[in-house]
Amino acid sequence: MTAIALAAPKRIILRSPGYWKSTFQRLARDKVAMTALGVIAALFLCAIFAPLIAPADPNAASMIRRLRPIGTPNYPLGSDELGRDMLSRLIYGARLSLIIGVTPVPIAFVIGSAIGILAGYAGGLFNTIIMRTVDVFYAFPSVLLAVALSGALGSGLTNTLVSLTVVFIPQIARIAESVTTQVRQLDYVEAARASGAPAYRIILEQVLGNVLAPIFVFATSLISVSMILASGLSFLGLGVRPPDAEWGLMLNTLRTAIYANPLVAILPGVMIFITSISFNLLSDGLRSAMDVKS
Amino acid sequence: MTETLSFLIDERDRGGPAQPLLSVKGLVKRFPVKSINPFAKKRHVSAVDGIDFEVLKGETLGVVGESGCGKSTTARLLMKLMPQDEGELLFDGEEIGVALSVKEYRRNVQMVFQDSYASLNPRLTIEQAISFGPRMHGEADGKALSDAHDLLERVGLDPGRFAGRYPHELSGGQRQRINIARALAFKPRLVILDEAVSALDKSVGAQVLNLLLDLKRDLGLTYIFISHDLNVVQFMAQRVMVMYLGKVVEIGDCREVFAHPKHPYSSALLSSMPRVDPRNRTQRPPLSGDPPNPIDPPSGCRFHPRCFKAEGVCSTTSPELFALDGDHRAACLANIPGSGHSAASGNGVAA
Amino acid sequence: MYAYAFKRLLHIIPVAIGVSIFCFLLIHIAPGDPLAAILPSDATAEFQAQMRTLYGFDKPLIVQYGLWAMRALQGDLGLSIATGRSVSGEIASAAVNSIILAVAATFIGFTLGALLGFMAGFLRGTWVDRLASSLSILGVCVPHYWLGMVLVVIFSVTLGWLPATGGGPGGSAGRAFDWAYFRYLLLPAITMSVIPMGIIARTVRSLVSDVMAQDFVQTLSAKGQMAPRIIRHVIRNAAPTALSVMGLQLGYLLGGSILIETVFSWPGTGFLLNGAIFTRDLPLLQGTILVLAMFFVSLNLIVDLLQGIIDPRIQRS
């Protein structure tokens, strides 16, 4: 009997590609999204290998070589108001700009999804309390909330990250809650409950796979907003502090040089723009690859 | 013969063949009605309003009624997917939540939903969907998967072709077979089929019905078969229960109820059933109007505003189920002696 | 309708209370003593205690909140530490400038955005459509404070046509309905209009293409009765949604104008807020944020109610 069971041929199971696999296959065929991904990858490489790429020390000031125009020998992109090499500062600036612009979103994604999914699955009073709190934060335009928090907490890298994360958590939690509330009522969740599975395993194995995609798309679309907001805080003097190289902060300090050397003065903004638009296009590509309706 | 034997050899059986598999006593479920005015008195809809019935071992109990009569709520209450407000459930003589834990009960009772697509998780492969339940009850992953493959074969699907697929790649009939396989993964004794074939094409539905009959015979199952399709119920069920506005109005042997309905609602329902035989045309009056608003159910007998036998007494007295002969019971004053209805026997002074 | 309005009102009361609590707590989440920022560093312990009592910081938080909220309800938001003038007065005079700027920006953004979206929706798949979608993506992704600088470089520094900064000839006192004032308004308003433009263009485009996909429009166009009737129908269908998007955008612009107002030194609430942050003028900071957030909440409510009137289906959902 056992021998027969052992001798029985192992079944060959035909497997369809999973949801994420086919999503990324579709995304890989999207030329715009792939270009955007390439730009983002290049920016990250710049940030990581800044010391190898940058031609000069980003903090080496020179009082006699201030505000050189673009194309000056040794200063391919000119110099700033303290005579520091713009190209090197733009390359080094990618480090802090990407850190403060990108990091808040994944953190908020984890916290916001957790809050929203739990509130959506639990329903009832717990949901009401959480969602009313979220509504309070939602009552502020993002810029105002970020400025209010940074203004109260004070400038600095950590405080910037904290305020931006707090700005995005309610937005993500709101999406997560509404998606989860819809999924919770579906028959397959009922069927999972009928199997007697504990709630946390139903959330992890049945709900999560279905709610994560739309939340993820929404979160990626926030990175573009976050880049602008983060640099905006630095631009106001609420973000990272001088003399650190960060695009928003550079834009702020160069504002006074706008009459003397306008082209150099607007360079950091170009970087913010390029980064923001690349993340936006990548997110759009991901959205259509997932076929999630906004 | 196998049908009678199957529960005898089931080692899980406790009370013997005479003890009902499931006894439902005084089951009530009310839903609060959302009101915009927060100071208004809280109102309720009684979706299920005090129902009693029994499911016998090895039988198929059909449940029929218009949409909104509480069929699906009853199924979800029996499945313990929502808490009941009143009443108790006894499974093979043991009260659920007292003598028998809900978790243990759910191993014995499973359900197949109407919407074959919505009841399968779109992100899980077929084998993952079927093996989910047993894994949650502590079965090893490998064992649960190979059991899932066996179950697929059992419901007539080739595991090699289907186990690794996603629900959207399958047809409605195939998906419903998978839902059946998932329900069977626990080796349950009772399966609740909530409109299980209603959404399928007639021919596909018929194949699934035959599969259900085979499985019942081979595995010694008991079914509660909920449907609005009377032909299908007639085909599947030994006994039938008719529901109207959250109440049981008639229950009894399927052939008996279909041939001689005792409640006017049942006869109206049956008269709406399409006939195949032109010589056997419907003679009974059809049902007119919509069911009344369940927030404000009619007083007395809930059916009286639509009933052709209604009399004054019907709007004041609410009838209970009354045994007519043997197992056949109906809740109509016209059949209850001494009720005051002119058609009822034992009425000295007819109105 | 009244029931719907009542329900909406009931819903924003807890939100408004939450917002006020948040604003109140803002000065308490700041590291250190809220007084430390405003007191001279050599203040005696006795003087510190005196000030603490004067500002009410010695009372329990909940009492402080109650007193603050009661006064705020009566329009008293305390005195600005920097100027000594009443916070409400400061906000009121700044708010006028912010509203002028936001309304001008919304007007420009809505007109151009609606036009762009309309054309894109009609000419789906053509270069007009592609141009419109690219522009709307640019509008969302451009750091508008930077765009402001670029416009200043072009129109003030290079061409010398328009002033680079300021709230009008001779400050906000020179506010008048004339070209001299408009010259100051133009650049910040155009910069700001980019934000709603993209969003409104996208909204209008999808509304128009939805209508265009309807059967009867196809029939009309098959009968050669294209433009006028369809345009009328599209406008009637798209207007409520477009208007409510515009209302919300106006709110965002008022609340989120701090960056643009700073770039152009436009003496509005954002500029005021920026100043309050750097002078650690806590009552002014608290008051400005409270007023802006409450304004945004009420605007949301108004938009909701208007939508409820225009489209009664919304009341039920």
H/E/C letters for each residue in B205-258? HHHHHHHHHHHHHHHCCEEEEECCCHHHHHHHCCEEEEEECCEEEEEEEHHHHH
DSSP strand pairing (B322-325 vs B328-330)? antiparallel
Please tell me whether residue B28 adopts helix, strand or coil conformation. Answer: strand
pTM given for the model: 0.84
**What is the helix (H) or strand (E) element at residue A88, kind and residue range?**
helix A86-102
Q: How many CA atoms lie within 13 A of A82 on its CB side?
A: 13
Instruction: Please tell me the predicted confidence (pLDDT) of residue C179.
Output: 73
Beta bridge partners, B164, equal A15
With a cut of 80, say whether residue A133 has pLDDT above it.
Answer: yes
pLDDT digits (tens, 9 = 90+) for B151-160: 999 999 988 8
- Residues in B closer than 8 angstroms to A15, CB to CB, are 125, 164-165
The DSSP output letter for B284 is S
What residue in C sits closest to A262 (Cα-Cα)? Answer: C153
Q: How many CA atoms lie within 13 A of B316 on its CB side?
A: 6
Instruction: Report the distance separating Cα B177 and Cα A113, nearest Å.
Output: 34
Q: What is the second-level CATH architecture of the domain B9-33+43-237?
A: 3-Layer(aba) Sandwich (3.40)
Question: Is B37 at the interface with chain C, CB within 8 A?
Answer: yes
- Residues in B closer than 8 angstroms to A186, CB to CB, are 118-119
Peptide bond into A243 cis (omega under 30): yes
Superfamily, domain A107-294: MetI-like (1.10.3720.10)
The per-residue DSSP string of A205-243 comes to IIIHHHHHHHHHHHHHHHHHHHHHHHHHHHHHTSSSPTT
C-beta atoms of A11 and B149 within 8 A: yes
Instruction: Please tell me the predicted confidence (pLDDT) of residue B351.
Output: 35
Instruction: Report the distance separating Cα A207 and Cα A200, nearest Å.
Output: 10
pLDDT digits (tens, 9 = 90+) for B159-170: 888 988 999 889
Instruction: Please tell me the predicted confidence (pLDDT) of residue C78.
Output: 80
Give C245: exposed, middle or buried? Use CB within 10 Å, 0-12, 13-18, 19+.
buried
pLDDT digits (tens, 9 = 90+) for A235-279: 888 888 888 888 988 888 888 888 878 888 888 999 999 999 999
Confidence of residue A2 (pLDDT cuts 50, 70, 90): very low
The pLDDT mean for chain A works out to 86
Q: How much is the average pLDDT of A137-159? A: 88
Which range, of A188-197, B244-253, C37-46, averages the lowest pLDDT?
C37-46
In sequence order, the 6+-apart residues with CB closer than 8 A to the CB of A31 are none
Chain A nearest CA to B333, separation (Å): 39
How many Å from the N-terminal Cα to the C-terminal Cα in chain B?
Answer: 52
C-beta atoms of B38 and C3 within 8 A: no
Burial track B40-72 (b if 16+ CB lie within 10 A, e otherwise):
eeeeebbbbbbbebbbbbbbbbbbbbbebbbbb
Q: How much is the average pLDDT of B5-25? A: 74
The pLDDT mean for chain B works out to 84
In sequence order, the 6+-apart residues with CB closer than 8 A to the CB of C128 are C119, C120
With a cut of 50, say whether residue A6 has pLDDT above it.
Answer: no
> Sheet containing B328-330: which strands, arranged edge to edge?
B109-112, B190-194, B222-226, B60-64, B239-244, B247-253, B328-330, B322-325
C-beta atoms of B136 and A186 within 8 A: no
Residues on B contacting A at a C-beta cutoff of 8 Å = 76, 79-81, 102-103, 106-107, 110-111, 113-115, 118-125, 127, 129, 132-133, 136-137, 149, 159-161, 163-166, 169, 179, 182, 186
Which range, of A134-143, A178-187, B13-22, averages the lowest pLDDT?
B13-22
With a cut of 90, say whether residue A282 has pLDDT above it.
Answer: yes
φ and ψ of B219, to 5 deg: -105, 0
What residue in C sits closest to A254 (Cα-Cα)? Answer: C149
How many whole angstroms from its chain centre is CA A132?
Answer: 25
Instruction: Please tell me the predicted confidence (pLDDT) of residue C173.
Output: 58
With a cut of 90, say whether residue C155 has pLDDT above it.
Answer: no
Token pair listed for B98: 């007292």
Question: Is A186 at the interface with chain B, CB within 8 A?
Answer: yes
C-beta atoms of C4 and B38 within 8 A: no
What residue in C sits closest to B34 (Cα-Cα)? Answer: C316
- The answer to whether the Cα torsion of B42, B43, B44, B49 is positive or negative is positive
Token pair listed for A273: 């723009």
Instruction: Report the distance separating Cα C118 and Cα C307, nearest Å.
Output: 21
Least Cα distance to C280 among A153, B339, B146, B104 occurs for A153
Superfamily, domain C93-280: MetI-like (1.10.3720.10)
Chain A nearest CA to C224, separation (Å): 33
- Residues in A closer than 8 angstroms to B103, CB to CB, are 196
Q: Helices A19-28 & A267-290, crossing angle to 10 degrees?
A: 130
Chain B nearest CA to A18, separation (Å): 8
Instruction: Please tell me the predicted confidence (pLDDT) of residue C40.
Output: 65
Instruction: Report the distance separating Cα B205 and Cα B180, nearest Å.
Output: 13
pLDDT digits (tens, 9 = 90+) for B133-157: 889 888 888 889 989 999 999 999 9
Question: Is C150 at the interface with chain A, CB within 8 A?
Answer: yes
CATH 1.10.3720.10 residue window(s) in chain C: 93-280
Amino acid at C166: G
Chain C nearest CA to B36, separation (Å): 7
Chain A nearest CA to C291, separation (Å): 11
C-beta atoms of A196 and B118 within 8 A: no
Please tell me whether residue B194 adopts helix, strand or coil conformation. Answer: strand
Instruction: Please tell me the predicted confidence (pLDDT) of residue B350.
Output: 38
Preferred mutation among A236, A274, A280 to probe C, highest tally of C CBs within 10 A: A236
What percentage of chain C reaches a pLDDT higher than 90?
A: 3
Instruction: Please tell me the predicted confidence (pLDDT) of residue B282.
Output: 60
- Residues in C closer than 8 angstroms to B37, CB to CB, are 3, 6
C-beta atoms of A194 and B124 within 8 A: no
Amino acid at B89: L
Q: How much is the average pLDDT of C174-196? A: 80
With a cut of 60, say whether residue C316 has pLDDT above it.
Answer: no
Question: Is B40 at the interface with chain C, CB within 8 A?
Answer: no
Query: Shortest CB distance from A280 goes to which of C140, C145, C149?
Result: C140
Instruction: Please tell me the predicted confidence (pLDDT) of residue A3.
Output: 41
Query: Shortest CB distance from A144 goes to which of C27, C256, C262?
Result: C256
How far CA B343 is from CA of A236, B266, C76, C177, C315, in Å, comes to 89, 17, 80, 90, 50
Question: Is B38 at the interface with chain C, CB within 8 A?
Answer: yes
Return the ∠ at Cα A174 (arms to A173 and A179), rounded to 5°.
95
How far CA B164 is from CA of A22, B7, B124, B148, in Å, comes to 15, 34, 9, 11
Token pair listed for B194: 């909530």
Instruction: Please tell me the predicted confidence (pLDDT) of residue A5.
Output: 45
Asked if A191 contacts B76 with a C-beta cutoff of 8 angstroms, the reply is no
What residue in B sits closest to C4 (Cα-Cα)? Answer: B36
With a cut of 80, say whether residue C91 has pLDDT above it.
Answer: yes
Chains that touch A (3 or more CB pairs under 8 A): B, C
With a cut of 70, say whether residue C38 has pLDDT above it.
Answer: no
Chains that touch B (3 or more CB pairs under 8 A): A, C
Least Cα distance to A204 among A215, A187, A219, A192 occurs for A192
The pLDDT mean for chain C works out to 81
Token pair listed for A139: 């009552």
Least Cα distance to B249 among B270, B273, B225 occurs for B270
Instruction: Please tell me the predicted confidence (pLDDT) of residue A20.
Output: 84
C-beta atoms of B110 and A190 within 8 A: no
Instruction: Please tell me the predicted confidence (pLDDT) of residue A1.
Output: 39
Asked if A250 contacts A80 with a C-beta cutoff of 8 angstroms, the reply is yes
Give C140: exposed, middle or buried? Use CB within 10 Å, 0-12, 13-18, 19+.
buried
Q: How much is the average pLDDT of C282-299? A: 87
More confident residue, C278 or C174: C278
The DSSP output letter for C154 is I
Instruction: Please tell me the predicted confidence (pLDDT) of residue B160.
Output: 87
How many whole angstroms from its chain centre is CA A273?
Answer: 15
pLDDT digits (tens, 9 = 90+) for B256-310: 898 888 888 888 888 877 766 666 666 655 666 777 777 778 888 888 888 888 8
- Residue spans of the domains in chain B: they are 9-33+43-237, 265-274+298-350
Question: Is C265 at the interface with chain A, CB within 8 A?
Answer: no
Which range, of A69-73, B207-211, B323-327, C31-35, averages the lowest pLDDT?
C31-35
- Residues in A closer than 8 angstroms to C27, CB to CB, are 152
Confidence of residue B184 (pLDDT cuts 50, 70, 90): very high
What percentage of chain B reaches a pLDDT higher than 70?
A: 88
Q: Chain C, 42-81: which have a CB under 8 Å from a chain A CB?
A: none
Give the number of other Cβ atoms within 10 Å of residue C17's Cβ.
13
- Interface size A-B, in CB pairs within 8 Å, comes to 89
